[in-house]
């Protein structure tokens, strides 16, 4: 369940207006952690995005990873080594130490934060 929440949340969190590094929020994730928390503050996933188009995701179930890229629609897409990936929205202008929320139909409001490492 936590892995499902994490994949849905990060997918729901990522869209770009242009090429891979056109979004300053995406750039802010490199070398830092991206946490996904439920409404009660429980961190259900932590992502570690890299500028080389790879990422790792840590949940209560363990650690996994995959690749990220952008598509022709300007979205960031996560492709895990196992399971299904997805493409979606990332707001611009979010820096380290800041967060935003996304609505997930199954899990309610999730908070995505960029945390300094």
pLDDT for 74-114, tens place per residue?
A: 677 999 998 889 987 778 889 999 999 988 888 899 999 99
Q: HSE of 65 in the Cβ direction (CA atoms, 13 Å)?
A: 9
Assigned CATH for 2-115: 2.40.128
- pLDDT tier at 11, thresholds 50, 70, 90: low
Cβ atoms within 10 Å of 21's Cβ, excluding its own: 12
Please report the pLDDT score of residue 88 as a whole number.
77
Q: Take residue 10 and report the two structure tokens written for it.
A: 């990060």
| Residues 7-34, mean pLDDT to the nearest whole number | 65
Please report the pLDDT score of residue 17 as a whole number.
32
* Whether residue 57 has pLDDT greater than 60: yes
Please answer whether residues 91 and 101 qualify as being in contact, where contact means their C-beta atoms are separated by less than 8 angstroms.
no
What residue ranges do the domains of the chain occupy? Answer: 2-115
**Threshold 0.85, pTM exceeds:** no
Q: Take residue 104 and report the two structure tokens written for it.
A: 């997930």
């Amino acid at each position: 369940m936590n892995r499902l929440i994490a994949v849905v949340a990060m997918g729901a969190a990522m869209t770009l207006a242009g090429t891979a590094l056109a979004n300053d929020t995406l750039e802010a994730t490199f070398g830092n952690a991206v946490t996904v928390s439920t409404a009660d503050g429980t961190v259900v996933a932590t992502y570690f995005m890299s500028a080389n188009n790879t990422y790792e995701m840590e949940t209560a179930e363990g650690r996994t990873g995959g690749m990220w890229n952008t598509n022709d629609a300007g979205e960031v897409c996560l492709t895990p080594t196992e399971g299904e990936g997805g493409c979606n929205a990332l707001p611009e202008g979010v820096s380290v130490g800041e967060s935003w929320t996304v609505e997930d139909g199954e899990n309610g409001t999730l908070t995505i934060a960029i945390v300094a490492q």
